[in-house]
Each structure stands twice: as C-alpha cells, then as structure tokens.
Structure 1
Amino acid sequence: MRTPTKEERQWLFRYLEDHLLGATSGVRLFKEAADTWEGTPHGETLAHLHEEISGERSELLASLEAQGHTPNAAKMLLAQAGAAVARINPLNIRGGENGPGAQLELEALQSLVRGKEALWETLLALLDDGWSFPKYDRERLSHLAERARGQQQEIAAIMCSTAAERFRA
C-alpha cells in the first residue's frame, strides 16, 4: 500500500470538500424536488432519493473527519449559502411539476448525481493506486457508484414519463 504525501492528501481533501459543498446544496435541491412532487406518482421516489443523498453526504463528511480533516469553514459557509438559495429553488420557482422550470430541476438533479458517481469512480481509481479511505473500501465505493447510476436512471424515468405532460399548455 502506498502512502500519499502530505501535498497529495491536501489535494484530495480539497476535492472531497468541493464534493461535500455540492452534496450540501444537492441534499436541499432533492428535498425541494421531493416537496414539489409530493402527492404525485413520483413523490415517493424523490423523497427516497433525498434520503439516500443525505445519508451519502453524511458518510462523506464522516470519512473526511476520520481522516483527521476538518472541512474548510469558508467552503462550508458557502455550502450553507447554496443550500439557502436551493430553498428558493431558482430552477423551479413556481414549485410545480410542469413547465421548463420542472424540467431544469430534474436535469440539475441528474447532473448532481452524475457528479457524485464520478466522485466514487475517482476514489475507486485511487484505491487501485494504493490509497486508502476510512469508511470506504472497494465494495462500498462500487456499491455507491452503482447506486448513483440507479439514481440517475430513476430521475431519467421521471423526466421521460412526464416530459410531454410538462410542456403542454
């Protein structure tokens, strides 16, 4: 097993913090989407996705802390500001499941999950190079990457099954 240098670990921490920042806003965007779609056939799916995304964010934070790293306070403040903006839901201000705002909201959710999938794939590649991550082993990271792919498919299914309805006058 290879031991990363201090500089390499700092690069990794910056990368993980950026994903933590995105996850913080993403958790809020998924909550807003779940609220928007509550009572529809897709509300439960989005509520379930919100729970999974929230748990994965907590797991990422726990891994950083287990590595002895405290996330940058300025970045976390920025994450909280992003989460506050997400409460307004600028992509879907009207908060409905129809129209271009709803489409953009679903596309943004899918993009966030794709970014998360890339994180897990990157950590898997680093494992292959001899890195280790508290709380993450190959099996867990592979599971998270596969789950992200499934989450993207769930969002895509909502987009496809509701697209025609969404753009009707």
Structure 2
Amino acid sequence: MADSDSGTGTVSSIGTNRRSDSEPTPLGIYLNDHLAGATSGLELARRAARSHSGSAVGEVLERVASEIAQDRTALLDMMSAIGIPVRQYKIYTGWAMEKVARLKLNGQLLRSSALRTVIELETLRLGVEGKAMAWRTLRVVAERDARLDAAQLDQLAGRARRQEDDLEGLRVEAVRRHL
C-alpha cells in the first residue's frame, strides 16, 4: 500500500505522506483542525445543555451534545486508522477557544442574556455544518483509502444533517422569543 521513497524517508500513503513525524500532512492538518473544532463544539454543547436543563430545549441539546461526543470519538478513531497523529495543542486550543468565547460581551455583565442563547445556537449550528463537510470530505478520501469506512461516513453525515435541522429549529425559536 505505501511506497517508500528511498533516501528521503517519505512514505506515500493517504494520511501518512510525511518527511518525518513532526511534519504534518495536509490531511493531518485538516483533521486536527476539525478535532479542535469538535472539542470546542462539545464544550459549548454541554454548557448550553446545562444552561437549558429541564426544558425541551435542554433535552435536544443534551442529545446533540452526546452525539457530538460520539462524533468526536469517531473522528479520533478514523485519525488513528489512517495514521494521523493527534496534535494535542490543537485540542487544547479548541478547548480554550470555547472558554474565551464566553467572555464576549452580550449586554449582561454577570449573567447570561437572551442574545447569548441565539449566538450559542448559531455557533453550534455552524460547527455541525463544518462537521458535516468534514464527513463528506472524508467520504471522498474513502474512495481511495479502504481504511475509512464509507458507510460509517454516510451515517455520520446523515446524523449531522439531523443535528443541523434540530439546531436550526431551536435557533429560529430563540430568535422569535428573544429578538
């Protein structure tokens, strides 16, 4: 499967085409960026679910957060299967980005506002849309790389579409209620 270039140490294979372990491939960069986004999105989804706990909105957000956690695990499993190393600093960056985003002024100094709900739902919706594109991108890669499960990618893309629809419904309702 992998051809080695003599003298350069380069291995030619999807996901592992590199001169050394410290030099990431385009696919490795792409997937680690999506892993950072998944980490940030998971933190946001869990926080949003907690803030709406005990409501119908909270129930939907709890399910979405659980699915995002499963999707993040699936991404990690795929990265492992195709030999993409996890760049820990990207995970930490995603985690920190979500924490910093909480500092955004929203008209309230010490407590949440209605605007925060709208912004959080928009952010989650956009994150899920990005995740859906990543699954579709990997689906194309799966046409050339049997280490990726095309059927699993199709299922993940379908779940992302359902999450998009659910989050969009919550977002529209929040806009009607609060803006």
TM-score, normalised on structure 2? 0.78
Name the counterpart of 1:25: 40
- Greater relative contact order (Cα 8 A, min sep 6): structure 1 or 2? 1
| Bigger helix share | 1
What one-letter code is carried by the residue in structure 2 that aligns with 1:132? A
Name the counterpart of 2:17: 6
In the alignment, is the contact (CA less than 8 A) between 1:91 and 1:104 conserved in 2? Answer: no
Work out the number of aligned pairs and report it: 160
Q: What does the per-residue CA deviation read over 1:43-63, in whole Å, with 9 as the maximum and x for residues that have no partner?
A: 101001000001111221122
In the alignment, is the contact (CA less than 8 A) between 1:120 and 1:142 conserved in 2? Answer: yes
TM-score, normalised on structure 1? 0.82
The structure with the larger Rg is 2
What is the CA distance between 1:89 and its match in structure 2? 6.5
Deviates more, 1:18-27 or 1:68-77: 68-77
What one-letter code is carried by the residue in structure 1 that aligns with 2:119? L
What is the CA distance between 1:74 and its match in structure 2? 2.5
Name the counterpart of 2:132: 117
For structure 2, which runs of at least 5 residues remain unmatched after alignment? 3-12, 19-23
Alpha carbons of structure 1 residues 39 and 62: separation in structure 2 relative to 1, 3 Å: same
CA distance in 1, matches of 2:57, 2:91: 31
What is the CA distance between 1:90 and its match in structure 2? 3.9
Match of 1:77 among 67, 74, 92: 92
| Alpha-carbon RMSD | 2.4
SS at structure 2 position matched to 1:42: helix
**2:174 paired with 1:162:** yes
Name the counterpart of 1:138: 150
What one-letter code is carried by the residue in structure 1 that aligns with 2:130? G
For structure 1, which runs of at least 5 residues remain unmatched after alignment? none
What one-letter code is carried by the residue in structure 1 that aligns with 2:133? A
Alpha carbons of structure 1 residues 66 and 124: separation in structure 2 relative to 1, 3 Å: closer
Name the counterpart of 1:150: 162
What one-letter code is carried by the residue in structure 2 that aligns with 1:137? D
In the alignment, is the contact (CA less than 8 A) between 1:27 and 1:53 conserved in 2? Answer: yes
SS at structure 1 position matched to 2:56: coil
